[in-house]
């Protein structure tokens, strides 16, 4: 795989990867940050129109905020989980339950004020509910459903060992609290299963929705920790 371009849009990462036919964009960032994206692309001499495909890891406003604008400008095909297709079409989200006190509070407040976290609705082109190959688009990669953070969370796994996991893993805690457990999750046992699914691939490097890339070893350790906690 070619070099991964990580671009921070608001508080969330988007990733841009070049394939044989054009670029794949993973997620669309925090709302109203298209300018930041354009600046970053300009520095790398990439045109927005070179994006041919957008995979949405999950339908949260900090991952789909600029999706409509980018879609209108590029005409790129959009892939989303069939579980979250309707949410995206309506421009709404359901906030997962928090996994810690601050996460629980944010989840509670967010569900009280759903309009605050709405975004421009988008109709996706492709909905998936099982493993889906991206070879036809020119990428040696597959999308695999990795639910847990949300019902329809997806990960993009490249044959060369890179995985783009959205909020299935967070890498924002200090090193001494070394876990990639997200602050929000709908279903923790399901999240654990999804981590196992990722570990069952040849993944070596993981690229989260929040924080810096991390290695397989960190996921493995987080998996063992979480498993001990919930069994």
Chain-centre distance for alpha carbon 38: 20
Give the Cα-Cα-Cα angle 33, 116, 72 (nearest 5 degrees). Answer: 40
DSSP state for residue 72 in the 8-state scheme: H
Nearer to Zn ion, 98 or 209 (CB): 209
Please give the backbone phi and psi of residue 62, each rounded to the nearest 5 degrees, phi first: -80, 5
Secondary structure of 92-150 in HEC code, one letter for each residue: CCCCCCECCHHHHHHHHHHHHCHHHHCCCCCCCCEEECCCEECHHHCCCEEEEECCCCC
| Shortest separation between residue 54's beta carbon and Zn ion, angstroms | 16
CA distance 152 to 59: 8
Nearer to Zn ion, 52 or 79 (CB): 79
| Shortest separation between residue 181's beta carbon and Zn ion, angstroms | 14
| Shortest separation between residue 149's beta carbon and Zn ion, angstroms | 8
CA distance 199 to 77: 28
- Please work out the total of residues on this chain that contact Zn ion, with binding judged by CB under 5 A: 3
| Shortest separation between residue 167's beta carbon and Zn ion, angstroms | 4
State which of positions 56-115 bind Zn ion (CB under 5 A): 62
| Shortest separation between residue 24's beta carbon and Zn ion, angstroms | 19
Chain-centre distance for alpha carbon 101: 23
Does the footprint of Zn ion cover residue 209 (CB under 5 A)? yes
Nearer to Zn ion, 62 or 162 (CB): 62
Nearer to Zn ion, 41 or 64 (CB): 64
Nearer to Zn ion, 84 or 167 (CB): 167
Choosing from 107, 167, 183, 214, the residue that interacts with Zn ion (CB under 5 A) is: 167
Q: Which residues bind Zn ion (CB under 5 A)?
A: 62, 167, 209
């Amino acid at each position: 795989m070619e070099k991964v371009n990580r671009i921070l849009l608001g508080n969330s990462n988007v990733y841009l990867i070049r394939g044989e036919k054009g670029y794949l964009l993973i997620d669309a960032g925090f709302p109203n940050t298209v300018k930041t994206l354009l600046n970053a692309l300009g520095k790398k001499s990439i045109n927005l129109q070179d994006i041919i495909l957008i995979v949405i890891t999950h339908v949260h406003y900090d991952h789909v905020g600029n999706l409509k604008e980018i879609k209108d400008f590029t005409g790129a095909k959009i892939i989303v989980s069939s579980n979250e297709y309707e949410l995206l079409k309506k421009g709404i989200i359901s906030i997962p339950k928090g996994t810690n006190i601050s996460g629980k509070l944010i989840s509670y407040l967010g569900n009280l004020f759903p309009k605050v976290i709405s975004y421009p609705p988008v109709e996706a082109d492709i909905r998936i509910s099982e493993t889906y190959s991206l070879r036809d688009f020119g990428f040696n990669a597959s999308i695999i459903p990795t639910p847990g953070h949300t019902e329809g969370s997806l990960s993009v796994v490249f044959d060369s060992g890179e995985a783009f996991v959205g909020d299935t893993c967070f890498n924002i805690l200090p090193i001494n609290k070394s876990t990639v457990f997200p602050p929000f999750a709908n279903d923790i046992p399901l999240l654990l299963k999804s981590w196992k699914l990722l570990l069952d691939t040849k993944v070596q490097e993981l690229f989260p929705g929040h924080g810096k890339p991390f290695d397989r070893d960190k996921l493995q350790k987080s998996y063992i920790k979480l498993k001990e906690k919930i069994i």
